[in-house]
Chains A and B, each alone.
Chain A
Amino acid sequence: MATQRKQRMTIVSFIVVGSAIAVGLVLFALNEGINVFYTPSEVAQGEVPSGQNFRIGGMVKSGSLRSGELQGTEVQFMATDCLVDIPVSYTGVLPDLFREGQGVVADGYIDGNGVFQASQILAKHDENYMPAESVAAMEASGATCDP
């Protein structure tokens, strides 16, 4: 009986140690891996803590895309929820389905000049697709427009 109990204790202690390590790792990682989503209106109202990484979702405002005249591979455009426009700057290759008047989601932070510096631009590979976050942004603003 004693050995059985010892074995059970071995198993239990391994599981306890294992889960403790895991919980620690998860809490630590959640802290830095989580990206909260904000709409352009929320960003304009200063709801986003400065210097924090977050996601912004909205539409690419028509006629706002600038790339040719900028240096290197930088692009700039306006992300809008029909109430507020937030300038976005991104350096790199835009996704295939990135288009003016279409939904967009960007990862990044707001710099000192109020420009959203995107580290990643997301657009799903589907013609009729609007990112869930963009839909949420349009619904949250309650406004309709032809961006």
Chain B
Amino acid sequence: MIPELGNFSLILALCLATLMAVIPMSGAVSNNQLWMSLCRPLSSGIWVFMLLSFACLSYAFLTDDFSVSYVASNSNSLLPVRYKFSGVWGGHEGSMVLWILMLASWTYAVSLFSRNLPLDMLARVQSVMGIIIIGFLLFTLLTSNPFDRTLLNTPADGNDLNPLLQDFGMIVHPPFLYMGYVGFSVAFAFAIAALLSGRLDAAWARWTRPWTNAAWAFLSIGIALGSWWAYYELGWGGWWFWDPVENVSFMPWLVGTALIHSLAVTEKRGVFKSWTVLLAIAAFSLSLLGAFIVRSGVLTSVHAFAVDPERGLVLLGLMLAVIGSSLFLYALRAPVVKSNASYSMTSREVFLLINNIILVVSTAAVLLGTLYPLIHEAVYGEANRVSIGPPYFNTVFVPLMGLLALALGVGTFSRWKKTSVTYLKQQLGKVLIASVALGIIIPLVTTSSVNISAIIAMMLGLWIVLTIIKDLMTKTANKKNFFVGLKSLTRSYYGMQFAHLGMAVIILGVCMTSQYSVERDVRLAPGESESIGNYEFIFQGITDEVGPNYEAQRGTVTVLRNGEEYMTLYPEKRTYFATRTVQTEAAIDVGFFRDLFTALGDERGDGSWVVRIHYKPFVFWIWMGAFLMAFGGILAITDKRYRSKKPVPSALAENSGQGGKLAAEAS
């Protein structure tokens, strides 16, 4: 009964979404206030029914209703309750329900928080969201309904959730990731609505910015959680593999980052309008590409869902329809959008343009590397398979990020319209010298060895950090004292600086981890030990343990620091009852400056085991940096100019006078 109710809710949501796609849009065209205002109740209705549907599916999971095929293939009566709940989105069908629920939540949120949006704009945005919801609901209902039943021969127990997903990281990672993916649909809907209405102005950029920031912040956290999960759950000690599925989540993030910066220019200066619209379309299209690649199985990946070519085709069709129609609309309407503000070669506009070019080029390179195996196969035939490994991605990506970090420092200092080169030299000369000098000295003193990569990364990281400090000092120089000055700066300014600090932290974390990690796979008999630096790892042997739905061989590794007992780690090798799948559980001592990572390999006779022992300096900083970025994005949303009730004068009018404003309030 309950699953049918869930199914029925999905259908009702589809009906409401169809109404929403048609009525408010028609209202906006024919200027019918009543039709337009219907978008608010409709979006709350869709949200309620999606929530109900999600609740029904969760109920089926929590009550072990194995007559529902999806529950039977993704759960098991022995599964701990928290994983029964996360099992709701552990497979393809259920994750679609979560996906659409989030789409509906974003839509509802737009209708709630856009009180000062003109009604016709809101109506168009909501209708576009409605069309997207229709697409995904149809896809779910027709090809992957999670409420399908097997009433005859109902299985006595479920197949179990994939052991890899039985983990805290998997409870939180997909919701954040989907919030990010789906969130870009809001920026997309705003872009389409603006194209339709022909009102592609600074106000449009101001409305879009908080939503883009929010989606981007969610996506940042989602990607970071995924990387963290891979780090401790896959048991390889790596945190990024340039796996196709990682890449497809990373590409919308890169374009989203470009979009955030481009929106800043459009809001403040009224230029780059067409470009910004194109980025908004691209960010959402790449999210759809991600859904297609993960769910169709066209690329071999560790994380991909079960392969189903039929679903893949439908998703491909959905993706091409969205991309095709939006680009068609863009081609029709974008030339109408003209800008007439001028700027010089060293203005902030140009530095943000450089930012955009680097990010878009990086995205293109990642896209090429991800799809290259498919292209190669299509050209040379199925027998000639190739794979693109991390060396390709690192060779392309790392230098581009280096350039980005360099431009970042100058960009924050530059001013709109025109920045004199002398000013930049005077402001940044000392910062440049300091970051180069410290960048050489710090690695030399702390490690007493020369490592060019570490030195370059240290320089870039310091360059970003020192420009932030210098910028804070410049901005507060005219105030009574430093702290009064700090208080006078806007939240969006702090948001920008936190996000940039996050970038510096990530650069340092990535470089220190990749350059100074010590990774040993050693064969140890009980009682034998392995030393890394001042840590000694003593393998004490294996004991048998039994968990709720698995049995495990648990290793005991005593860690000594400087010869004194420091702690004990318990890496496990689990065998799950239902599937007989073997799963390595790493044991990690997390620290601010270093992680100690141990995982069990395989038994090699005579009681000895291969034990993976890693010393990973600064690995924590990678995720810390991502969280700083997300925090910056959220902080910028709380800026009071987004909350002000009174209409803000258009940025063009604001800046048309002589002498552009100081960059203080920018970004």
Identify the 4 closest CB pairs spanning chains A and B, nearest first: A33-B392, A68-B605, A93-B601, A29-B395
A99 to B582 CA separation, bound complex (whole angstroms): 11
A14 to B364 CA separation, bound complex (whole angstroms): 16
* Given A22-B365, A25-B395, A37-B385: A93 touches B582 (CB 8 Å cut-off): no
12 CB-based A-B contacts, threshold 8 Å: A19-B361, A28-B395, A29-B391, A30-B372, A34-B388, A35-B387, A37-B386, A55-B385, A68-B604, A94-B601, A96-B583, A132-B300
| Chain A residues near B (Cβ < 8 Å) | 3-4, 7, 10-11, 14-15, 18-19, 21-22, 25-26, 28-30, 32-37, 55, 67-69, 72-73, 91-94, 96-97, 107, 124-127, 131-133, 136, 140
Q: Are A34 and B521 in contact (CB under 8 A)?
A: no
Q: How far is the CB of A94 from chain B (nearest CB, A)?
A: 6
Q: Are B342 and A7 in contact (CB under 8 A)?
A: yes
Q: How far is the CB of B524 from chain A (nearest CB, A)?
A: 10
A26 to B354 CA separation, bound complex (whole angstroms): 19
Q: Which of B302, B345, B396 contacts A25 (CB 8 A)?
A: B396
Q: How far is the CB of B225 from chain A (nearest CB, A)?
A: 19
Q: Which of A3, A15, A32, A67 contacts B605 (CB 8 A)?
A: A67
Which A residues lie within 8 Å of B523 (CB)? 72-73
Chain B interface mostly helix, strand, loop or mixed?
Answer: mixed
What is the size category of the interface that chain B forms with chain A?
A: 35 or more
* Given A69-B605, A93-B602, A127-B581: A26 touches B386 (CB 8 Å cut-off): no
Q: How far is the CB of A43 from chain B (nearest CB, A)?
A: 14
Which A residues lie within 8 Å of B581 (CB)? 96-97, 125, 127
* Given A69-B605, A125-B302: A33 touches B395 (CB 8 Å cut-off): yes
Which A residues lie within 8 Å of B300 (CB)? 124, 131-133
A92 to B599 CA separation, bound complex (whole angstroms): 12
* Given A33-B391, A91-B521, A93-B521: A125 touches B162 (CB 8 Å cut-off): yes
A136 to B380 CA separation, bound complex (whole angstroms): 14
Q: Which of B343, B385, B393, B582 contacts A96 (CB 8 A)?
A: B582
Determine if B327 is an interface residue (Cβ-Cβ < 8 Å).
no
Determine if B522 is an interface residue (Cβ-Cβ < 8 Å).
yes
Which B residues lie within 8 Å of A34 (CB)? 372, 386-389, 392
Q: Are B396 and A96 in contact (CB under 8 A)?
A: no
Q: Are B368 and A107 in contact (CB under 8 A)?
A: no
Which B residues lie within 8 Å of A72 (CB)? 522-523
* Given A96-B582, A132-B300: A140 touches B387 (CB 8 Å cut-off): no
Q: Are A32 and B385 in contact (CB under 8 A)?
A: no
Which A residues lie within 8 Å of B343 (CB)? 7
Q: How far is the CB of A83 from chain B (nearest CB, A)?
A: 15
Q: Which residue of the partner chain B has the closest CB to A68?
A: B605
Most buried by B among A29, A67, A97, A133: A29
Q: Which residue of the partner chain A has the closest CB to B364?
A: A22
* Given A14-B354, A96-B584, A136-B385: A33 touches B361 (CB 8 Å cut-off): no
A107 to B390 CA separation, bound complex (whole angstroms): 12
- How many Cβ-Cβ contacts under 8 Å join chain A to chain B? 129
* Given A18-B357, A19-B361, A32-B395: A133 touches B521 (CB 8 Å cut-off): no
* Given A25-B395, A33-B391, A73-B601: A92 touches B357 (CB 8 Å cut-off): no
Q: How far is the CB of A119 from chain B (nearest CB, A)?
A: 10
Q: Are B388 and A35 in contact (CB under 8 A)?
A: yes
A69 to B387 CA separation, bound complex (whole angstroms): 33
Q: How far is the CB of B430 from chain A (nearest CB, A)?
A: 28
* Given A14-B354, A33-B369, A33-B392: A136 touches B604 (CB 8 Å cut-off): no
Q: Are B342 and A4 in contact (CB under 8 A)?
A: yes
Q: How far is the CB of A68 from chain B (nearest CB, A)?
A: 3
Q: Which residue of the partner chain B has the closest CB to A36?
A: B386
Q: Are A10 and B387 in contact (CB under 8 A)?
A: no
Determine if B117 is an interface residue (Cβ-Cβ < 8 Å).
no
Which B residues lie within 8 Å of A26 (CB)? 365, 368, 396
Q: Are A93 and B612 in contact (CB under 8 A)?
A: yes
12 additional A-B residue pairs with CB within 8 Å, beyond A15-B357, A25-B400, A125-B583: A11-B353, A14-B357, A19-B361, A37-B387, A67-B605, A73-B522, A92-B601, A93-B521, A125-B164, A125-B581, A131-B300, A136-B385
A96 to B581 CA separation, bound complex (whole angstroms): 8
A68 to B603 CA separation, bound complex (whole angstroms): 8
Q: Which of B162, B396, B584, B610 contacts A29 (CB 8 A)?
A: B396
Q: Which residue of the partner chain B has the closest CB to A34?
A: B386
A46 to B534 CA separation, bound complex (whole angstroms): 48
Q: Are A136 and B605 in contact (CB under 8 A)?
A: no
Q: Which residue of the partner chain A has the closest CB to B605?
A: A68
A93 to B522 CA separation, bound complex (whole angstroms): 9
A104 to B573 CA separation, bound complex (whole angstroms): 21
Q: How far is the CB of A139 from chain B (nearest CB, A)?
A: 9
Q: How far is the CB of B612 from chain A (nearest CB, A)?
A: 5
Q: Which residue of the partner chain A has the closest CB to B390?
A: A33
Per-residue CB proximity of B375-412 to A under 8 Å, as 1/0?
A: 00000001111111111111110011000000000000
Q: Are B392 and A32 in contact (CB under 8 A)?
A: yes
A143 to B383 CA separation, bound complex (whole angstroms): 15
Which B residues lie within 8 Å of A36 (CB)? 384-386
Q: Which of B302, B372, B387 contacts A124 (CB 8 A)?
A: B302
Which B residues lie within 8 Å of A28 (CB)? 395
* Given A18-B361, A136-B385: A67 touches B395 (CB 8 Å cut-off): no
Q: Are B385 and A107 in contact (CB under 8 A)?
A: no
Determine if B259 is an interface residue (Cβ-Cβ < 8 Å).
no
Which B residues lie within 8 Å of A11 (CB)? 353
Q: Are A18 and B369 in contact (CB under 8 A)?
A: no
Determine if B235 is an interface residue (Cβ-Cβ < 8 Å).
yes
A16 to B83 CA separation, bound complex (whole angstroms): 51
A93 to B599 CA separation, bound complex (whole angstroms): 10
* Given A4-B342, A35-B386: A14 touches B353 (CB 8 Å cut-off): yes
Q: Which of A33, A67, A124 contacts B602 (CB 8 A)?
A: A67
Most buried by A among B353, B361, B581, B605: B361
Q: Are A33 and B364 in contact (CB under 8 A)?
A: no
Which A residues lie within 8 Å of B162 (CB)? 125-126
* Given A7-B342, A14-B354: A94 touches B387 (CB 8 Å cut-off): no
